[in-house]
Amino acid sequence: MHSFIHSVCALFLLFLLCQPAQAGDNPDADRQAVVLAAFGTTVPKALPGILNIRDRLQRQYPQTPVKIAFTSNIIRRIWQGRRGDAAFITANPSVPADVYTVQGPLATIANLQDQGYRTIIVQPGHISAGEEYLDLVAAIDGLNSIRTIKPKFRPFEKLAVGRPAMGTAGEQHPYSEDLALIARALADDAVQAEKANAALLYMAHGNTYMPSGSAYLEFASIMNRLYPQVKTYIALVEGYPSLDDTLPLLEHAGVSKLLLKPFMTVAGDHTVNDMAGDEPEAWKSILSAKGYEVMTVAKGLGEIDAFADVYLHHLQQTATDHGIVLH
């Protein structure tokens, strides 16, 4: 045990020496950073749903570090466990190093602050203003409530939070405009469904413990107005409207063929198992059993550049709202 600690320590000192004295360079500069706070995923091949958004934000602001954070405790814990798992690391060369060390928003923000980044915008990578987003806002409100005797010692110059893809409550940026933005970004889905002569059915997440379906249903109604040639439906894994709530509508409308897609940034566990899995309770199985012809596309919304840029759009507005100029 002692020799293990010793070798870790030696490695650590080596690591110390290799580190540039980053924040020491210009301690007075007001450093700016962006945190992309997504739910996260444990599925390596679903990571692009997050990383593509990160890359597009980073490309837009090359001088501003864009750090990812995962809001799910369970998912972070799994990645923490994989840090020491040589077999996993070797088998998944596409996983970037910062996924292994990813932290929650609180630690990510606090570490940036500790390095001298006192102006931080947290851009949620969430789809809707649901539980995860509200909890994220609560964390940021808590950090923003910190007052100090001398204003110059406040931990943050500006700590702002953007809004999820589907927007949030308030007059400044009506959520319905965000829904329209998404509907335009997903034009290809309508094209694809039309080509296949299919209705479009999205699987969104939802929440059993807070009414969340409204924005989804309103989004579907905008899709139907924008792309009347295709019937668009949306149902939730949790909460109302469920697939059960939606089946009568499909039947009533005489749908026979379905293009089934995840309405989630990443095509992770829900997509692989709950949507497109072979188990009888997977949506594909249920719909097939009902006689529908089902095509599934296991691609997270974040992998679609036009959708990823909805987050960029929101980030830019948040920066403007707070008088922050990102570079």
Pick the stretch among 29-37, 55-63, 183-191, 215-223 that binds its own copies (CB under 8 A).
215-223
**Cβ within 8 Å of residue 8, ≥6 positions away:** none
By CB under 8 A, the residues from 159 to 188 that bind its own copies are 166, 168-171, 174-176
Burial 117-152 (b: 16+ CB within 10 A, else e): bbbbbbbbbbbbbbebbeebbebbeebeeeeeeeee
Q: Alpha-carbon distance 301 to 259, whole Å? A: 15
By CB under 8 A, the residues from 1 to 60 that bind its own copies are 7-9, 11-24, 27
Confirm or deny that 157 is annotated as ligand binding: no
Complex with its own copies: residue 91 or 191, whichever CB lies closer = 91
Residue 226 interacting with its own copies (CB under 8 A): no
Please name every residue paired with 238 in a beta bridge, in sequence order, or none if there are none.
206
- Residues annotated as catalytic (active site), given as ranges: 205
Confirm or deny that 238 is annotated as ligand binding: yes
Q: Alpha-carbon distance 284 to 296, whole Å? A: 8
Cα angle vertex 303, ends 130, 223, to 5°? Answer: 60
DSSP secondary structure letter of residue 28: T
Confirm or deny that 313 is annotated as ligand binding: no
Complex with its own copies: residue 147 or 327, whichever CB lies closer = 147
Pick the stretch among 82-90, 261-269, 283-291, 298-306 that binds its own copies (CB under 8 A).
82-90
CB of 305 to its own copies, least distance (A): 26
Residue 150 interacting with its own copies (CB under 8 A): yes
Interaction pattern, residues 192-211, with its own copies; x per rule: CB under 8 A: ---------------xxxxx
Complex with its own copies: residue 23 or 191, whichever CB lies closer = 23
- Pairing between β-strand 117-124 and β-strand 31-38 as defined by DSSP bridges: parallel
DSSP secondary structure letter of residue 271: I
Rounded to a whole number of angstroms, the CA Rg of the chain reads 22
For the beta carbon of residue 13, count every other beta carbon within 10 angstroms.
10
Interaction pattern, residues 93-112, with its own copies; x per rule: CB under 8 A: ----x--xx-xx-xx-xxx-
Q: CB of 155 within 8 A of CB of 143?
A: yes
Residue 91 interacting with its own copies (CB under 8 A): no
Q: Alpha-carbon distance 57 to 306, whole Å? A: 12
Which one among 42, 43, 65, 89 touches its own copies, defined by CB under 8 A? Answer: 89
CB of 316 to its own copies, least distance (A): 21
Interaction pattern, residues 239-278, with its own copies; x per rule: CB under 8 A: -xx---x------x--------------------------
Complex with its own copies: residue 222 or 308, whichever CB lies closer = 222
Complex with its own copies: residue 131 or 194, whichever CB lies closer = 131
Q: Alpha-carbon distance 33 to 116, whole Å? A: 10
Q: Can you say which residues are annotated as belonging to the binding site for Co(2+)?
A: 205, 238, 270
